[in-house]
Amino acid sequence: MAKWHKLKKMQQKAGKSGPKDMKRMMKKLSKQGQMDFEELENVEEVIIKQADKEIVIEKPQVTRLQMPGQGEVFQVVGTGAERSKASEEVETEGVESSEEGEISPEDAQLVASQAGVSLEEGIAALKQSAGDLAKAILLLKQSKI
């Protein structure tokens, strides 16, 4: 018998499991009452918060596993993007009103993150552009050149 046939048989005996095998095993455990799982529908994002940064996973596939006596386990599958917490903390003290209305903290954060500048620079650009987000971002990007 060829070596690869032996290897294939060894893998089968060792119980190599793929995604289909895992689903089958989870259904079996669920039927036995040892574990309950469900796919969570319409999940928009998952945020993992750490002391200095956050990992944001947009449109993930999320499965909740419940095991008696052990609590819940969440399985999250998707692509994560890191962002620093400092850029996420928007201080409303520095946000003042302009001639056409008030500059919102969300607008200031958006301008700062899109232009790659500090929150204070984003606020200043919004004041200079009378609250026009696109104009503020362009001003900041042009000043970096």
Which one-letter amino acid corresponds to residue 104? Answer: S
Q: Return the minimum-mean-pLDDT range out of 80-84, 96-100, 102-106, 119-123.
A: 96-100
- For residues 118 and 10, which has the higher predicted lDDT (pLDDT)? 118
Do 38 and 65 touch, CB atoms closer than 8 A? no
Per residue, the 3-state secondary structure of 84-126, as one string, reads: EHHHHCCCCCCCCEECCEECCHHHHHHHHHHHCCCHHHHHHHH
| pLDDT tens-digit readout, 11-70 | 565 555 666 777 777 777 777 777 778 889 999 999 998 888 888 899 999 988 887 777
Fold of the domain built from segment(s) 19-84: Ubiquitin Ligase Nedd4; Chain: W; (2.20.70)
Mean pLDDT of the chain: 76
DSSP 31: H
- For residues 109 and 20, which has the higher predicted lDDT (pLDDT)? 109
pTM of the model: 0.42
What 3-state DSSP class applies to 23? helix
- For residues 143 and 13, which has the higher predicted lDDT (pLDDT)? 143
Do 92 and 105 touch, CB atoms closer than 8 A? yes
Domain ranges of the chain: 19-84, 96-144
Q: What percent of the chain has a predicted confidence (pLDDT) above 70?
A: 72
Do 19 and 53 touch, CB atoms closer than 8 A? no
CA angle 78, 117, 86 (to 5 degrees): 60
Is the pLDDT at 94 greater than 60? The verdict is no
Rounded CA gap, 101 and 29, in Å?
59
Query: Residue 42: its pLDDT value, please?
Result: 93
Confidence of residue 97 (pLDDT cuts 50, 70, 90): very low
Rounded CA gap, 49 and 116, in Å?
22
